[in-house]
Structure 1
């Protein structure tokens, strides 16, 4: 069938476009005129792939892009821990979703919308493992990104209750080969680690995240299109572990030394504020900012059992995933071991 992917030039969106084409679907990729298209197939060599220029914040461009499509994958999002202008999170992540949903209502031909939310929309899980029944308490937000995804999640679920055929998926911390963007934070931190700019563990190892290999998440999205029930929520997460565990696995795989000390969070926080100052001077967004440290103070562990049962989702282990990622990073020349 003909499907449209918003955020197609992004880390997840690009991999999704390739996978959809491999399964025989006709894919239209929504991209901006300024987008980096290097991760996308060539529309000149694949007749089932085409570009649609537009923006999720431009409603008219969505109406044009949606024409003839039966399924919408809405993966577009502004994924940054911090921005000088936080209003951009809400114009893209909230306003963009509203535009997508309204365009789908107006077209009346859309059979299913797969909306890519975030584990942040469910909130932290300090000391336990959560599932899709968790509702964000909305008392404290680690970042404006988190706040925007919580608001967007409510909008998506209300629209589903109103009858729009929406399936909401919640990836964990996505990692794997592909675009080295902010969305690929594991790849970025491994580069920092192996290039010597991150000489120790981050914090004391009490952090916990649910790590999702990008290709598993892509398969989960396609399964949500084929098997997901409108109105349902599915966690596309994976192994729950700390970044200390990630670094230890990386050391074992590469036969290099593990970090010998822990960097306290107060040190990382001080560095994060310096990074913000540097950003305001240079315009280059920081890898670690104060919201990043806020996130590190919590745990974000989730169960993907519902997706396993309903979608046949079968995420790989961190060991298996990192055995692929580390040689890939080495092949790019961004790490040595």
Structure 2
């Protein structure tokens, strides 16, 4: 029995589909029933409703130990895809409780139930830094505790610490650090929000960069690593590094929209996040643009995927090959 957390999110839903296509026996946890509809629609769009019916859904929160204990019965492998994602500083406590404490609960139960292997989905946000700015960040880059990190990045780094701790307690683990994941079916969250903004006519661009990857690659690599004898390793999962302006231009072209043509300088984004903070402070509006988001939009950071490509002899899908079909699927969903 395989347990998947985050099965109602983009990565978890695609992973469930791939696992069931391999005829695995799968259980997925959920907090509320409504988001299951997105996973059901993904399976329906792939004409795989027969596989969807095979998912055993169990209601459980990452901090509800009794419910998690029921979910862990007869489980041999765990894919931990669930995470809370926000860049609103007001939600720091929720981030830590979900991403760090929730992960600690899962690995503790995995140890108690003698799970064979545990795969944790982290993020490139949890990776360290390089002293040489021309050197790419990889799995050995050192985390700088004195550097500026978003609350989300800190929570993902903290969750990794819990997983590594579990590996020292004899739990075989795998950690993957994906870049910005692109995949179909979840247009109002994660990278899907970026497509929404471009389709609505977003005029601004910055000159930073980001590591991108297709959801198909992330799922394939996770399954291969879990099916192998490899353990207690972490891997950067990035197809390629791409400038924000180039990424936005490619999305705009594929969506038949005008390219963003107004450069948002560090000074202007600095004003923007402060205004967003004031609006949030004076109203009940949730933060949409934080200091961390502004800083990341101007950061030119390159990631090295050579460890996973050499380990599995893996060839990633180029960004140009997955972005165009993704945009076509988005337009068809409107």
CA 135–161 in structure 1, closer or farther in 2 if over 3 Å, else same:
farther
Aligned residues: 325
Match of 1:65 in 2: 71
Match of 1:39 in 2: 38
TM-score by length of 2: 0.89
Aligned equivalents of 1:324 and 1:195: distance in 2?
19
Shift of 1:86: 0.9
Aligned equivalents of 1:177 and 1:40: distance in 2?
11
Shift of 1:55: 0.9
SS in 2 for 1:40: helix
Match of 1:294 in 2: 295
Match of 2:199 in 1: 194
CA 123–296 in structure 1, closer or farther in 2 if over 3 Å, else same:
farther
User: Unaligned stretches of 5+ in structure 2?
Assistant: none
CA 73–284 in structure 1, closer or farther in 2 if over 3 Å, else same:
farther
Shift of 1:88: 0.8
User: Unaligned stretches of 5+ in structure 1?
Assistant: none
Describe the superposition over 1:287-326 as per-residue Cα deviations: whole angstroms up to 9, x where unpaired.
Answer: 4322211222423321222212223432211111111121
Aligned equivalents of 1:181 and 1:134: distance in 2?
33
Shift of 1:182: 3.9
Shift of 1:159: 1.9
Shift of 1:144: 0.7
Matches within 5 A, 1:93-242: 93-108=99-114, 110-124=115-129, 126-184=133-191, 187-196=192-201, 198-202=202-206, 205=207, 207-227=208-228, 229-242=230-243
Aligned equivalents of 1:228 and 1:268: distance in 2?
47
Higher mean alpha-carbon deviation, 273-282 vs 9-18, is at 273-282
SS in 1 for 2:36: coil
Match of 2:97 in 1: 91
Matches within 5 A, 1:1-80: 2-33=1-32, 35-41=34-40, 45-46=50-51, 47-80=53-86
Higher mean alpha-carbon deviation, 52-61 vs 125-134, is at 125-134
Aligned equivalents of 1:145 and 1:200: distance in 2?
24
